[in-house]
Each structure stands twice: as structure tokens, then as C-alpha cells.
Structure 1
Amino acid sequence: MNTGQDTLTYVYAVTRQTEALRGLLADLRGVGRTPVLLLAADPESEPSPAAGPTTAAGHAPAAGAVPAPLALVVSPVPYEDFNEAALKDHFEDLEWLESVARAHHEVVQAIATRETVLPLRMATVYRDDSRARLALTDQQPVFARRLAELDAHTEYGVKVYLTPAAPPPAAATVGSADGPGPTTPGKAYLQRRKAQHHARETVYQEARQAAASIEAIAATYTPHRVRHAPQSGALTGPREDRRENVVNDAYLVPDRDAARFRADIEQAAREFPDIRVEVTGPWAPYSFAMTADEAADQAGLEGQGP
């Protein structure tokens, strides 16, 4: 692909070379609308006939079959935009980051529809194809093990939101013949604050109960959960309907159980009318791509880039 310094090698993911990907790659475009290719550890490597074509995303190779060789999913990107100094500047540019993140995600998701995929971090770049191949060769046992663990599994997200609390009615400031005496503005304010606090605690308690119920249900399908930090308010909807995100979990679910997983969680959510539960997916397994130690190893290999 690239040999000079006009371009760098951008890596989206690790996957297996299979016939199922051939037609997909012909029309797939990545960052900057560049063509997407498979880069093998051995440039002469071809898909193993024993592995045969795959029929759907996440399907494991048939029992006894020789796994297809591993490959990086790559495309060329401009050196001027992706060298180390440029990336530091671009990471302050939200519009640029959004564009690259969207293109990265679209490539990974497209590959995931045909073959098990191991996503790498956005803006993983190497000086050239040779450096990228070296990384693949060095990490091949780790990548192969992770792909085998991800076979026939898909990531789903489960988020819990608090519904916006309605403001309590204003306390009366004038007494009546049948009611208590006058309420001062200060007392009215304290009463409103107390009512708001009580309503908030009630909603939080319901959210805790919902989270516990969802975790118990999910545990019957998979032991693999990653707890992400809750999203900020700016990411949870328009201002007039913004809700507080209190649970933001990811689960790695066997494909055979995916429909029942979603249905059972959505059914449980109906028991908690004052909160909102959202099940998202299917996603490529971003949350389960690497263990902490493996991610550190990958970061070390990325140092071989520009």
C-alpha cells in the first residue's frame, strides 16, 4: 500500500481473512473516504481453504477447521493529518474527532456483519505497512485468543436514566379558615426543597432496584460485563427532555441468546415506570476487545508508529 511518508497506515481492527469479506471490502471506505484493505502478517498469505466462508457475523469456524489467518483492517491516511504532532492538535478539534470516529465505527461495524472483529482504538496509526505487520506478528497469539473468545458473541449496551422530576406545587403563603396559618416565603422554600429531595430519593431508589434486577437477569446470559461511566447530560437528549444517566453498562452476549436477553431486560424495565431503560446494539465488541494488560501491550506496539 504505502511506502513513503505522504501517508501512514491507519488500523481499524483485527479480523480473519475469509471469503465473506472479499465482496464487502470492494466498496468499503474508511477515514477520508480511503479504500479499506486487509493487511496480513505474511504479505503472501491467503485465506485458508479449510476455514471456508463464514455465513454471518460472529460465527465460529467449524469444529476441526483450521482458523483463517489473521489480518489488520487498514487504510492509508495523510501523514500531515495523522503524524504525532498533528494528532495532538486534532484531538482539540471536536468536529474532526467526530468525523474520524464515525468513519472508524462504520468500518468496524461493517466488518462485524461478516466476521468476528477485534476493534482497535481510534487513530491507531503506523509509519508504514511493515510496522503494522510487525505489530500483528508480535501480538498474533493475543489477537487469536481474543477473537476466539469473541466468536458468536455480540456487545449490547444497557443504560438506565432517571426521568426528570416534576416540580412540587408551590406552598400556600396565605392561611385559610380550614387550613394552617400563613406560611412565610422562607418556610415555603424549605418545604419545596424537602419535597424535591424526597421525590429525588424515591427515583434514585427505584433506579437502584432496576439496576439490580437488570444485573441479575443479564448474569443468567453472560458473565461478561463492563461498567462504563455514566454519560453526561449533554449526551442524553435535547435539553427539554434531558435525563440523568445513572447506569451505562455493556454486556457480551452469545448470539443465540441475544433476542431473549433484550426481551427479558425490556420486560423487567416495565416494572419501573419512573425510570427509562434503554437496550442498544448489536455492536462490535469495543468494550471487550482487550484486557487491561493487553491494552497496555498494544499501546507499546503503537509506539512503533510515526
Structure 2
Amino acid sequence: MSTTADVGPVATARPDTGAWLHGVVRELPPDTLAELVGMDGAEVRAVRSGGLVAVVSAAPLTEYGEEPLRRKLSDLTWLESAARTHHGVVAALSRTGAVVPARLATVHRDTDRVAAVLAERRAELTAALDRLTGRTEWGVKGYVVPGALPAEADDEPAGGGGAGAAYLRRRRAQLTAKEQGQRITAETAATVHEALAQYAVADRRHAPQDRRLSGAATAMVLNGAYLVDVAALDGFTELVRALAGRHPQVRLELTGPWPPYSFVAEAPAQEAHTVRDPASW
């Protein structure tokens, strides 16, 4: 089995330069990497081993070693920028064919180690690429629709006992309406997810995002990811539209296509520093 590190126009990597792993593919069409920009504006390079290609960008260990990287990961501004750059490379790879995306902040000590990991995990990575070929990830998010749920009681319920008792009855009715609304939206989200999951090849239901992250005005009740055959995409999108009409109490939002972040096993991360993207693509 051959193991080589193709580092483009740079003949050798500096000994203090690690390799930020973006993803693994079977083949890399010519010029795919020419216009891509890696971490900190670094060149994006290919590392080949055992019939697979890993795409990496230079990551100086003074900045991306264990301790410096840990400090960077606590900086949300840096984390957002890093996630955007990483995704840009992975998305470009996904447009050429199946890709196994690496987790955000997967840094190996050098390209030789990347090549070795490709060789060691060749069977696993090849199986993942086989499973992902001809399929893309789509996201469906569901948000509460104001006014579509049972309204809180504004009128004072009948009964005696004075103003204090009336307030307690009114408050109890409001809480009951809120609990009923939460139950209805939770059941709706579960129903929608189950229907989409039956249509998809694979599915994941992620935790709903906080409003500060989603940017939505109302609460998210569904954050689903679905691996869909390209040939079945029209049917999947039509199903989303049908479910939206059937369940007006939840606004459905279809996003994609995405690289299959939700449908790969742990990316090659041996002897690497890794963290999941908190945005949960």
C-alpha cells in the first residue's frame, strides 16, 4: 500500500507545522483546491494514502498546538470564523462527490501522520464514502407559530373568592394553556420528524438551538438532519411542504444541501485535538 503526502508547491512542511484536517474523499478533480483558502488564509493541500485523499491546511503548532488551540476554542468570535472557513472547504469538496467531513478543529501533528491515519482507517473511511455516495444531508427546523397554539386565558374565569382568588384562577388557566401548547408542539415535532425519517436513508434529531443561535423570533422545537438520496430529493421536499400544511402550529424550514456532518462516524482524529462545532450544522 502506498502512502504519500502531496503538499503541492511546498516541498516539505516545517517541523513545527501541523495539519488541520478538513475532510476525506476518494478522488480530487484537478484544480479543485486552487481557489480554496484554508485556516488563517493558508494554502489547502492534498495528502494521499491507500487510494484516499485527505484535504488539509497548514496549522502552525505555535497557534494550533494543544494549549493554544484550547484557548482559541474558548473565543466564540474565533470559533465562528474557524467554522466558516472549515465549512467552506468541506462544502467545496462535497460538490465534487462524497466526502467524510472532519470534526471542527481536528489537527494532526504533520501530514505524515494524516497519511498514516488514512492507511490505518482505509476500510472504515471507504465504507463511509460508499454509504454517502449519491446522498446529501438536509436540515429541517421547526419553529412555534405565534397564535396557532391555544391562547392564554385573558377573561377572568367564573367563581367567587374575591380578587386574589380570581387572579389565581386566571394564572392557573394561563399556565394550563401554555402547558397544552408545549405538549402540542412537542407532539407535532415528533410526528414531523418520524415522517421525514421514514423517507430518508438516515436521520438525526439534534437538540433545538437557542434563539440567540437560531436568530428566530420564536422557539425551535425541531432540529432534524436527514440523509436523502439525490434521486429522492423532489419527493422529500414535497413531503416537507405537505407536513407544513398539515401542521400549521409549527413553521418548517428546509435547509441544504449540506455535507454529511451528521452522518459520519468519528472523523480521523487519532493524535489530534478535536471539538464539535457548537452550531450543529
User: TM-score band, normalised by the shorter chain?
Assistant: 0.7 to 0.9
Equivalence for 1:190: 168
8 Å Cα contact 2:153/2:177 also seen in 1 = no
Match of 1:27 among 24, 30, 35: 35
Instruction: Look up the equivalent residue of 2:256 and give its one-letter code.
Output: G
7, 12, 16: which one aligns with 2:26:
16
Give 3-state SS (helix, strand or coil) of 2:121's partner.
helix
Query: 1:224-272 deviations in whole A, cap 9, x for unaligned?
Result: 111211212322325xx2x222222211111111121022122112122
Q: Is the 8 A contact 2:152 2:178 kept in 1?
A: no
Which residue of 2 is the match for residue 38 of structure 1?
46
Aligned to 2:244: 269
Q: CA shift at 1:78, angstroms?
A: 2.5
* Partner residue, 2:276: none
SS state of the match for residue 32, structure 2? helix
Separation in 1, partners of 2:201, 2:95: 24
Tell me the CA shift for residue 301 of structure 1. 4.5
Residue 272 of structure 2: aligned partner:
302
**Counterparts of 1:108 and 1:92 in 2: how far apart (Å)?**
23
Measure the CA separation in 1 of the matches of 2:130 and 2:142: 31
Match of 1:156 in 2: 138
Q: Identify the residue that residue 200 of structure 2 maps to in structure 1.
A: 222
Shift of 1:216: 3.9
Deviation at 1:17, TM superposition (A): 1.7
Amino acid at match of 2:225: A
- Which residue in the other structure is 1:236 paired with? 214
CA displacement, residues 69-121 of structure 1 (integer Å, 9 cap, x when unaligned): 31001111232210111011111111111111110011101111112110011
CA–CA separation in structure 2 for the residues paired with 1:181 and 1:258: 59
The CA deviation at 1:222 is 2.3
**Equivalent residue in structure 2 for 1:200, among 178, 190, 201:** 178
Q: 1:103 to 1:188 in 2, by over 3 A?
A: farther
Alignment check: 8 A CA contact 2:136 2:257 kept: yes
State the match for 2:189 in structure 1.
211
**Aligned partner (choices 115, 135, 147) of residue 133 of structure 1:** 115
How far apart are 1:30 and its partner, in Å?
1.6
Contact 1:170–1:188 (8 Å) recurs in 2:
no
Find the partner of 1:250 among 225, 231, 247: 225
- Relative distance call for 1:25 and 1:245 in structure 2 (3 A) is same
Q: CA deviation at 1:188?
A: 4.2
Q: TM-score, normalised by structure 2?
A: 0.83
Question: Contact between 1:206 and 1:272, CA under 8 Å: does it hold in 2?
Answer: no
Identical positions, percent: 34
Q: What is residue 120 of structure 1 aligned with on the other side?
A: 102
For the Cα contact (< 8 Å) 1:266–1:279, is it kept in 2?
Answer: no
Map Cα deviations across residues 19-68 of structure 1 (whole Å, 9 max, x no partner). 3xx233111112112221221016xxxxxxxxxxxxxxxxxxxxxxxxxx
Q: What residue identity is the alignment partner of 1:197?
A: L
**Residue aligned with 1:24, SS:** coil
Please identify the structure whose Cα radius of gyration is greater. 1
Structure 1 length-normalised TM: 0.77
The alignment of Structure 1 onto Structure 2 pairs a total of residues equal to 261
- Whether 1:87 and 2:69 are equivalent positions in the alignment is yes
Question: How far apart are the structure 2 equivalents of 1:126 and 1:182?
Answer: 72
Distance 1:251 1:36 in 2: 29
- Which of 100, 107, 113 pairs up with 2:82? 100
Whether the 8 Å contact between 1:119 and 1:285 is mirrored in structure 2 is: yes
SS of residue matched to 1:90: helix
